[in-house]
Amino acid sequence: MQYGIVVFRYIAIRPKLGHSRALEAFLEEPSAEDELFLLSKGFFTLYCHGDVDRVEEKLLKADEDYTLITWKIAFEAVNPWQFLRLGGHPSVQAGHYLAIQRNEFANVYWTIVDLLDIFITSQSLGIEPDKLNIILMDAHPKTSLDPFWTVLFQRLIKLTDPIFVESNCVLFENLLWRYPPAKSPLLDSSLNSLKHIQPFRSFVLRRFGISSGTHFRKCNQLNLNILFILRRDYKSHPRNLAGIIDRKIANEEDVLSEIKSSFPDANITPVQLDLLTLKAQLEIVAKTDILFGMHGAAHAFSIFMPPGGAVVEMFHHNSNIYNWHMNKIATLSDHSYINWENTDMRAVDTLRKSIVIPRGVSYRRRPAFTLGSWNVRTMLTGITKDIRDTNGARKTAVISRELVRLKVDIAALQETCIAGFGSLTEKEYTFFWKGRDEDEPRVHGVGFSVSNKLVQMVEPGSTKSERIMHIKLNTDLGPTNLLSVYSPTLASTTDAKDTFYSQLDNAIKHIPNNEVLILLGYSSARVGNDQGSWPDCLGHFGVGKCNENGQRLLELYTYHHLCITNTFFGVKLRHRFSWMHPRSKNWHQLDLIISRREHLNNIRTIRAYHSADCDTDHSLVCTKIQLLPKKVHRVKQSATLRINASATAIPENVSIFNDILSSKLGDCLELNTEDHWRHIKDTTLAAALKVFGKNVRKSQDWFNANIATLQPLIEAKRNALQNYQRNPSPSSLQWIYEVHLF
């Protein structure tokens, strides 16, 4: 007994001790319960050489969560000599047999739940699923889904087949009980990933003779395959003789027209799947990139779509109870999921059991929020080491301008090389940093550049290391924790690596599991592309081979159920790299953005921007995530007028100011105290503004003050850098040197 799976060696089934009311001739319309078998003690009889009482006691006292309570009551263990009372010599069935009782036997979703459970059971025991034999412990009638059972497995037998009807006892060399249906992974709403999904898809399609080649697609590609499921009346269940179903779309043609106008270059297939054979249905789904349809069991077919697709599920009413089942099966299959719920009950025709989908309905996605990670190599470039010195060439101003150009909301910065903990406000961004102490070498250091529009929404987190910095952002997804991470290089000492990964492990542990977590930073690790060994952590778009640091990183992130988002998006190859080795000229994927696996569907894309330049050899890596920062509402206070104090140094201005006051304040002696004070204040302020003028604040932005000189230089540097990246040569490298000398 392991993981709720029970394995018996040499156990007999005695069919005479099981009975189904559906087999009684007088029962014309049996119910689902009538089609199940009631089992008496001894139905499962174990041929046991050992202590019979101990075996039976062990099974009966097992935890109900891990055994089939309704079956273990029918279990009995006997000694070899007791087999004589079974009557005759039992037929022996070699191989592995799995007994299963189906409930929703005519429903695609519940059939897939059963099939996946069987697949996982066989994989757990090291049994090839196509070598497995199935015993159906029910008397359910035939349905169009029966080919799933006859095609996938080596043999299918039922308790109503002659092998049981014509025998008092059938002996099985190996008989399996799967784990209870309540333990099915597809029924676990908290599950975030399942490594068996893609192997299961390949197994099913292969057994049906369908190519399971995984073709990853992007939504901006042409020739996408879109499946629009037509939901119409049909005999969906043996007990639904009228064939009337609900949740039909009354204006299918209008909806189809909207889909065509939204995807003019796509291959759109509107089809009523239930009219096709099961193999024909799977052939269509296996090539589908986007699946549209009303809420129904057919959405479970998304498990057979190539990963990286999208599922759109429409609900005919706005229910207070969220139906998460199709969302779960879609996301576990690496698809994006979107639902639409009708809020106008006037659109529902209860007589025809249909709904009119209004025109112009679209899913309003949350706005994309851009996060970035950039190893800037240093933020101290300039005449002085004081980053706040407005006379020096402040690198923060250059970084700020690049982030504005690429519309980055928050960027994590590494290798800042600034001592202590502090902040600096530029025109568009506020910079935060954490480095080593003042008396230590200016190395390492991390920080954040936060758009000034978001500064009031950011809370500082616990920051105890010059390699890890934590800030928290309040969003519609709840508290969102951002970590800026700067990992030790491959050449660092083992002690330095151990210290860092221990600190990173503790930082992750201190963030509650129900909060969003995103790590951004320089990893100095090559994680490679071995998605099969790290299915929960790596996607299908990793590059290169894994090194020592990559191994440590993958082990840590897998333990915390984190995934490296860079490897899950099939962007252009050059946009996956962020650093080029100076000697080999090979590009590597070192700057990574990591999130919890359950939040991967909120990330739209990720890529490197090689055009971003701040005198660093690393490219800026950005991700767009569906995230909406919560607005902080504050009462705006009117600005206080300030007098130009420098004008008071001019004697002529002072003389004029005194004359005005003398003439204006001489006739107010008859006023009461309060009015007298108000008159003096207003008169003095008006005279000062008239004579000295209002103080005009000078721009403190160093970049704007020097934009005429800096902008042409930055553009020239960017063009030279891009030219060298496209065509590396001595002449293009010399161009970069010349621009820097300029």
The domain that holds 592 is classified in CATH as: 3.60.10.10
Residues 6+ apart with CB under 8 A from 719: none
Most confident of 9-23, 319-333, 460-474, 500-514: 500-514
Q: What is the pLDDT of residue 209?
A: 94
Residue 111 DSSP SS3: helix
Nearest by Cα to 618 from 523, 735, 547: 523
More confident residue, 20 or 147: 147
Q: Does residue 373 contact residue 520 with C-beta atoms inside 8 Å?
A: yes
Do 31 and 115 sit in the same domain of this protein?
A: yes
Residue 38 has pLDDT above 90, yes or no: no
Residue 385 has pLDDT above 70, yes or no: no
Taking the C-alpha atoms of residue 486 and residue 418, their distance in angstroms, rounded to an integer, is 14
Where residue 21 falls among pLDDT bands split at 50, 70, 90?
confident
Which range has the worst mean pLDDT, 259-268, 296-305, 317-326? 317-326
Strand segments, DSSP code E, in 438-578 are 446-451, 458-460, 468-475, 478-486, 516-522, 562-564
More confident residue, 632 or 378: 378
Residue with tokens 């659109």: 347
In eight-state DSSP terms, residue 411 is E
Count of C-beta atoms within a 10 Å radius of residue 332: 20
The alpha-carbon radius of gyration of the chain (Å, integer) is 35
Most confident of 66-75, 721-730, 732-741: 721-730
Phi, psi of 217 (to 5 degrees): -125, 160
**362 occurs within a structural domain:** no
Residues 6+ apart with CB under 8 A from 368: 604, 624, 625, 626
Distance of alpha carbon 410 from the chain centroid: 20
Residues 6+ apart with CB under 8 A from 211: 205, 286
Do 400 and 322 sit in the same domain of this protein?
A: no
Count of C-beta atoms within a 10 Å radius of residue 568: 23
Nearest by Cα to 565 from 526, 532, 536: 536
Do 176 and 264 sit in the same domain of this protein?
A: no
Do 227 and 262 sit in the same domain of this protein?
A: yes
pLDDT digits (tens, 9 = 90+) for 97-117: 999 988 788 889 999 999 999
Taking the C-alpha atoms of residue 706 and residue 398, their distance in angstroms, rounded to an integer, is 11
Residue with tokens 């101290």: 380
Q: What is the pLDDT of residue 66?
A: 41
State whether the Cα torsion 355-360-366-368 is positive or negative: positive
Phi, psi of 275 (to 5 degrees): -85, -10
Taking the C-alpha atoms of residue 546 and residue 542, their distance in angstroms, rounded to an integer, is 10
The CATH number linked to 284 is 3.40.50
Residue with tokens 């199709």: 326
Q: What is the pLDDT of residue 673?
A: 76
Count of C-beta atoms within a 10 Å radius of residue 78: 18
**609 occurs within a structural domain:** yes
**572 occurs within a structural domain:** yes
Which range has the worst mean pLDDT, 96-105, 150-159, 311-320? 311-320
Q: What is the pLDDT of residue 584?
A: 87
Q: For residues 493-516, give the mean pLDDT.
A: 91
**236 occurs within a structural domain:** yes
Do 448 and 545 sit in the same domain of this protein?
A: yes
Strands of 603-609's sheet, edge to edge? 421-425, 429-434, 446-451, 410-414, 368-375, 620-626, 603-609
Residue 69 DSSP SS3: helix
Q: Which of 184, 213, 241 is the last residue of a domain?
A: 184
Give the pairing of strands 44-47 and 75-78.
parallel
Give the pairing of strands 91-100 and 75-78.
unpaired
**639 occurs within a structural domain:** no
Taking the C-alpha atoms of residue 1 and residue 6, their distance in angstroms, rounded to an integer, is 5
Do 106 and 228 sit in the same domain of this protein?
A: no
Residue 390 has pLDDT above 80, yes or no: no
By CB neighbour count within 10 A (0-12 exposed, 13-18 middle, 19+ buried), where does 210 fall? middle
Q: What is the pLDDT of residue 461?
A: 79
Q: Which residues pair with residue 478 across a beta bridge?
A: 475
pTM over 0.75: no
Taking the C-alpha atoms of residue 631 and residue 457, their distance in angstroms, rounded to an integer, is 7
Taking the C-alpha atoms of residue 475 and residue 454, their distance in angstroms, rounded to an integer, is 11
More confident residue, 630 or 65: 630
Residue with tokens 């909406």: 628
Taking the C-alpha atoms of residue 704 and residue 702, their distance in angstroms, rounded to an integer, is 6
Q: What angle do CA 302, 196, 7 make, to 5 degrees?
A: 125
Where residue 704 falls among pLDDT bands split at 50, 70, 90?
low
Q: Alpha carbon of 328 to those of 190, 322, 553: distances in Å?
A: 9, 12, 28
DSSP for 230-296, please give it.
Answer: -------STT-TT---S-EETTHHHHHHHHHHH-TTSEEEEE-GGGS-HHHHHHHHTT-SEEEEESS
Q: Does residue 504 contact residue 470 with C-beta atoms inside 8 Å?
A: no
Tokens coding 287: 């090539």
Do 57 and 102 sit in the same domain of this protein?
A: yes
Do 599 and 728 sit in the same domain of this protein?
A: no
| SS3 assignment for 599-657 | HHHHEEEEEEECCCCCCCCECEEEEEEECCECCCCCCCCCCCCCECHHHHHCHHHHHHH
Instruction: Look at the chain and report how many structural domains it folds into.
Output: 5
Termini Cα distance of the chain: 76
Where residue 695 falls among pLDDT bands split at 50, 70, 90?
confident
Q: For residues 646-670, give the mean pLDDT.
A: 77
Tokens coding 721: 């850098």
Q: What is the pLDDT of residue 629?
A: 76
Average pLDDT over the chain reads: 82
Phi, psi of 664 (to 5 degrees): -85, -30
Do 255 and 376 sit in the same domain of this protein?
A: no
Nearest by Cα to 472 from 488, 483, 464: 483
**605 occurs within a structural domain:** yes
Residue 319 has pLDDT above 80, yes or no: no
pLDDT digits (tens, 9 = 90+) for 444-488: 899 999 999 998 888 887 777 899 999 998 887 778 999 999 999
Phi, psi of 470 (to 5 degrees): -125, 130
* Structural domain boundaries enclosing 675: 645-692
Residue 65 has pLDDT above 50, yes or no: no
pLDDT digits (tens, 9 = 90+) for 421-452: 888 888 899 999 999 888 888 888 999 999 99
Residues 6+ apart with CB under 8 A from 320: none
Q: What is the pLDDT of residue 89?
A: 54
Nearest by Cα to 518 from 682, 333, 416, 370: 370
Looking at residue 256, its amino acid is: L
Do 145 and 177 sit in the same domain of this protein?
A: yes
**361 occurs within a structural domain:** no
Give the pairing of strands 354-355 and 579-580.
unpaired
Tokens coding 694: 């209002």
Do 559 and 432 sit in the same domain of this protein?
A: yes
Do 34 and 136 sit in the same domain of this protein?
A: yes
